[in-house]
Structure 1
Amino acid sequence: MTSDELRQTFLNFFQDRGHKIIPGSSLVPHGDPTLLLTTAGMVQIKPYFLGLEVPPSQRLTSCQKCFRTTDIDSVGDNKHLTFFEMLGNFSVGNYFKREAISWAWEFVTKYLNLSEERLWITIYLDDEEAFAHWREVGVSTERILRFGQKDNFWGPAGDSGPCGPCSEIHYDLGEEFGCNRPDCKPNCDCGRFSEIWNLVFTQYNQDRSGQRTPLPKPNIDTGMGLERTLAAIQGKSSPYETDLFSPLINKVCQLAGKEYGQDENVDRAMRIVTEHGRGIPFLIADGVMPSNEGRGYVLRRILRRASLFGRRLGLDKPFLGEFANVVVEKMKHVYPELITNEALITDVIKTEENKFISTLEIGLALVENLIDDACKEKRDYLKGEEIFRLYDTYGFPKELTAEIAREKGLSIDWEGFQAEMERQRERARAAYNITLAATVGLRGNLSVVKIPSSTNFVGDRTLKHQSTVVVLLPESEWPKNRVDSVSQGQYVGVVLRETPFYGEMGGQVGDTGEIRGKKGRITVTNAVRHTVSGSELVVHQGGVVEGHIFVDDVVEAEVDEHRRLDIARNHTATHLLQAALRQILGSYIQQRGSLVEPERLRFDFPQLLPLSQEEVKKIQQWVNERIRQNLPVKTKIIPYNEAIAEGAIALFEEKYGETVRVV
């Protein structure tokens, strides 16, 4: 059975048992701040388990691409992977342990034809229900082992979310791969037993404090590692020997002019290059760009680690772009985003690899000097301040320094490194606080104000609206509580029950205008949004230019129409500019930020190289041609899925509801 056959057989098996096949999601988790990258198939199922969204079916199945950063340093052995595919079946309040266990056993023994003599089961310590169901399908008592929370309690994926006890299926590779200890069994770290399928009985939701509460209905979340299972089916001791990896290993052999399987040090370097080189195109295809933080740093880190170990194989010139072409060719029929973004993938890799080669030359020489100094001083570690200087001044990754040092038998003074990092943060904080002190205003005061409810925005229908004053915050009272009235000459913040004023958000500046009452008038110079205790407020900032304004006054709020139209024109222009960039530079262009003001606009997007004069000219011509066409601006409210199907562009970091407003 090949990797393609395993993938399809799994999905078909569960489709035949009433499951709806759903497409896997991006490696960049959609609207989930608790996760850096998608780590399991259940990530996109999480809202269904929590009752936040209605699933398309109570029974679901998928093949999900995943990336786990915890295993980066372990990659190089025969089993650890950062990027992998997870086959999963899910029940959202439908079936539970009996069906999950019965189907899992049927699939591995009848459809994959794995020998029952090589299969072992692990369960949570006191999960008698799971034990009984495994016995029902014919697993002998001695092959069902009990483990504690470390091994058999799963989740959450991130620092909060669904979790529960789990039961795992382990495949015995054979005594020749074991430690020869008489007590060797599943979860032994010798590598003899390979966990191929984890059945999670999701019964709880865990909050960020670690508190668990029962879910409204228990759910099933299973994950079968495609690569490990494939190795078991094909009779291999490692995923790297399967049809999924063999063309990739062969490419590294061709590039390096070496054979796999002759020298363990060479083999380890080849596995690192192959594994990281496989994950890199998938990250880029899903919108991750190299950077010094977050998921961008994960990409940069594995790319540089692959480059370092490529050098150990004699690959001194950039090679990962050529390797990526083999990955795309191997996987494009399953993940079409690879072929769609192939040019971007190659460009990003070449640019980043070229940039790192010069850093690598300097960094390796400096690390060798530090190692020599440590040996002369008879130290068995590298000093934290030295590692920090390499990292901060030369941009040499601390993880690579640690890896090189470890090969020489030296450790790292991580406490010293963290102390230097903290000193740098303190310097940055001090500079930030100086700026912050000058800009604290109405936003700071709101945290101590009791807010009745969110502001109702009506500015998409009218620019003049009668409303009621809810909160008054005079500048002279900062940071004290709100007051009941303000008078001429005071600078204030006003919260209304409803408002036509658009509050500053998403890069668009706030509206200006007037608030008029029977006894006073306020000139509004800005409107800002602020969230307090779950209430989404629009705070109108301005000065009382006439009389008095009281809480509970009925007032007329009017937006400066000419300024609003100027802002609207520039907002529309950002949409045109994004379309032009995607048309001329490529569909990989994604908005990372923007500024929309009456007089100007700014559009932020990641780009590897500066735009050429010719590209700038083409972009300007494209936008101006559309402006001259005087096309109408149309908006509509439609379901999110329908909007995406029509080609609407969603931002990775935004969380969207079931319906969205499309321009």
Structure 2
Amino acid sequence: MNAQELRSKYVEFFKSKAHAQIQGKSLLPDNDPTVLFTTAGMHPLVPYLLGEPHPAGNRLVDYQKCIRTGDIDSVGDPSHLTFFEMLGNWSLGDYFKDGAIRMSFEFLTSAEWLGIPVEKLGVTVFEGDDTVPRDDESAAIWKALGIPESRISYLPRADNWWGPAGTTGPCGPDSEMFYDIGKEPCGPKCGPGCSCGKWLEIWNDVFMQYNKAADGSYEPLARKCVDTGMGIERTVTILNGKKSVYDTEIFAPIIAAVEKVSGYTYGSDPEKDKSVRIICDHVRTATFILGDPKAVSPSNVGAGYVLRRLIRRAVRHGHKLGIEDRQILSPIAAVVVEKFKGPYPELEENWKYIKTELDSEEEKFLETLQKGEHEFEKLLPNLIKDPRKIMSGRMAFKLYDTYGFPIELTDELAQEQGLKVNREEFDEAFKKHQELSRAGSEQIFKGGLVDQGEISTKYHTATHLLHKALRMILGDHVAQKGSNITAERMRFDFSHGSPMSPEEVQKVQDIVNEQIQRDLQVTMKVMNLDDAKALGAMALFGEKYESQVKVYSIGDFSTEVCGGPHVEHTGTMGKFRIQKEQSSSAGVRRIRAVLE
């Protein structure tokens, strides 16, 4: 079974169980300052898991593009990826453990669907602790379906508990499904969840059963929800009896593209094979980031920095395959677009931008490498004179930190001259650098729920007022390109080709404050998307919408398709002040503002 068949079967199965198919969302989440990218299928659905009604109903199914960069250094092994696709189904206060587990079991084992033999399946459930009892309910359902006690592992919170993302909020046990690849057990306690490689996780059902209170206690939720997730790449690997995600049809054409541009035949050398896998993963991820409707460009901060790092790492591994004097990324990206344009048409729509940005960034990095080599050559005469023939780690780190020159290339150049780099000293300097970086971005990478607090709700409503005010002053070409909200401020990106004048900034600020002073009522209606457009409702640039949408009106001032949350009256919002208007990227401006 290939990825497209799995995607289709999953959606078809859950639609047959009365689930509405919804659209997957952008890789760049709105109004969640805790993460740079959408990290799981549930991420865009958080407001609905927390109680907001979904216009498509209370049983949902979709496929979602996701990025996780925490394991970037493990990419290149058989299973780690930075970009992956997640299949998911949700119950928003409808069915719970019995319904979710039975549907999961049917989809996995029924001959009509995946047809996995029952004896190949094992599961894990929460073992319980001092605050929450063992999840015997889930275990009993699995046993009734034919999973014996010997293939049910009871595991602690670290393995089988989800949330809350903050200190309080919805959370609960989960039950994970594993496939036995047939390896011998590593010992008498080897069961589902063991990390020896015998058991591969394929699906996870999360049961949002409790609310964690401020005093640390757990209260049962009145409205229980289910969130599930199945990774497409890993499941396709298992269904086809492959040892690695890179051995599947998902990656075959991308590997072939790397072979074509490099002249290297995959499978010839383990170290070079690893470089091929890194190039495949990183170019695929970069293509999806650049092809997203809310695309960012490579930069030195946030999501743009992750993108830059992926591109440069791919170029560096191209060097390891012997490609040094030409650009290779966009021909590989073209194959990624061709492979994925069916489920993700935005890739083909944005191909020109993808190619331009990849070519430009690759060219810049090749220049960086030339500068680094030039700096290395300037250091060389003194290094050769040194009888120890050792280049200090401090010097190597300066090449990395100041010129972006990779340590691996410094190593190679040093070896060619009969020198050694003090890697211990370099690693120490690098570690210190990482710690400083991490301290500054801890909140960003923490991951978690969108803040539904009162101040965030005010800022979210302010983005609607700002959007309309900008269109009034600058013109109808203005469209929202993204926003980011924290408890302290809001950031709003919009399409506009030139800097705003101080007078324009003042006019926009005055219009927003006027609407706040008018104390306009905010109302919401669920309607057909075509009706919303006919009504003149603005919709977020590049967003994918269901056929039924929520339309928020702020008095007679603005009407916009949006998921919420919003204040009930604008008079509660305080005073709006624009702190800064600046460039965000080509053709996109950025406003930072506060409510006082």
TM superposition score normalised by structure 1: 0.63
CA contact (8 A) 1:3 1:230 kept: yes
Partner of 2:71, secondary structure, is helix
CA contact (8 A) 1:173 1:237 kept: no
Match of 1:229 in 2: 235
Which of 399, 404, 426 in structure 2 is aligned with 1:390?
A: 399
Partner of 1:12, secondary structure, is helix
For residue 389 of structure 1, report the CA deviation from its aligned partner.
Answer: 3.1
Superposition RMSD in Å: 4.5
Which of 343, 348, 353 in structure 2 is aligned with 1:339?
A: 348
Flag the 1:78–1:391 CA change in 2: closer, same or farther, 3 A.
same
For residue 249 of structure 1, report the CA deviation from its aligned partner.
Answer: 1.1
Residues 331-480 of structure 1 mapped to structure 2, 5 A cutoff = 331-363=340-372, 383=393, 386=395, 389-396=398-405, 410-411=423-424, 416-417=429-430
Match of 2:155 in 1: 147
CA contact (8 A) 2:257 2:331 kept: no
CA contact (8 A) 1:506 1:594 kept: no
Distance 2:502 2:301 in 1: 29
For residue 390 of structure 1, report the CA deviation from its aligned partner.
Answer: 3.5
Which of 595, 603, 606 in structure 1 is aligned with 2:500?
A: 595
Partner of 2:500, secondary structure, is strand
Match of 1:124 in 2: 126
For residue 417 of structure 1, report the CA deviation from its aligned partner.
Answer: 4.9
Q: Greater relative contact order: 1 or 2 (C-alpha under 8 angstroms, separation 6 or more)?
A: 2
Distance 2:424 2:246 in 1: 30
Flag the 1:359–1:184 CA change in 2: closer, same or farther, 3 A.
farther
CA contact (8 A) 1:86 1:224 kept: yes
Distance 2:27 2:413 in 1: 30
Structure of higher CA gyration radius: 1
Distance 1:159 1:267 in 2: 43
Distance 2:185 2:388 in 1: 38
Flag the 1:285–1:355 CA change in 2: closer, same or farther, 3 A.
same
For residue 314 of structure 1, report the CA deviation from its aligned partner.
Answer: 1.6
For residue 84 of structure 1, report the CA deviation from its aligned partner.
Answer: 0.5
Flag the 1:218–1:662 CA change in 2: closer, same or farther, 3 A.
closer
Partner of 2:28, secondary structure, is coil
Flag the 1:18–1:190 CA change in 2: closer, same or farther, 3 A.
same
Flag the 1:60–1:596 CA change in 2: closer, same or farther, 3 A.
farther
CA contact (8 A) 1:301 1:397 kept: no
For residue 184 of structure 1, report the CA deviation from its aligned partner.
Answer: 4.2
For residue 204 of structure 1, report the CA deviation from its aligned partner.
Answer: 4.0
Q: Deviations over 1:482-508 (max 9, x none)?
A: xxxxxxxxxxxxxxxxxxxx99x9599
Q: Deviations over 1:519-547 (max 9, x none)?
A: xxxxxxxxxxxxxxxxxxxxxxxxxxxxx
CA contact (8 A) 2:473 2:507 kept: no
Distance 2:163 2:257 in 1: 37
Partner of 2:101, secondary structure, is helix
1:95 aligns with 2:104: no
1:575 aligns with 2:480: no
Flag the 1:15–1:571 CA change in 2: closer, same or farther, 3 A.
closer
Match of 1:166 in 2: 174
CA contact (8 A) 2:152 2:191 kept: no
Which of 268, 277, 281 in structure 1 is aligned with 2:287?
A: 281
For residue 275 of structure 1, report the CA deviation from its aligned partner.
Answer: 0.8
Flag the 1:136–1:387 CA change in 2: closer, same or farther, 3 A.
farther
For residue 377 of structure 1, report the CA deviation from its aligned partner.
Answer: 6.9
Flag the 1:66–1:424 CA change in 2: closer, same or farther, 3 A.
closer
Distance 1:272 1:591 in 2: 37
Distance 2:412 2:538 in 1: 44
Aligned residues: 481
CA contact (8 A) 1:402 1:411 kept: no
For residue 236 of structure 1, report the CA deviation from its aligned partner.
Answer: 1.0
Which of 203, 207, 216 in structure 2 is aligned with 1:201?
A: 207
Match of 1:46 in 2: 46
Residues 16-27 of structure 1 mapped to structure 2, 5 A cutoff = 16-27=16-27
Q: Deviations over 1:553-593 (max 9, x none)?
A: xxxxxxxxxxxxxxx8x8645235648x9xxxxxx984699
Which of 125, 132, 144 in structure 2 is aligned with 1:136?
A: 144
Distance 1:57 1:71 in 2: 35
For residue 354 of structure 1, report the CA deviation from its aligned partner.
Answer: 0.6
Partner of 1:595, secondary structure, is coil
Moved more, 342-351 or 391-400: 391-400
Which structure 1 residue ranges, 5 or more long, are not aligned?
427-453, 458-501, 509-567, 582-587, 604-635
CA contact (8 A) 2:92 2:224 kept: yes
Partner of 2:290, secondary structure, is helix
1:254 aligns with 2:254: no
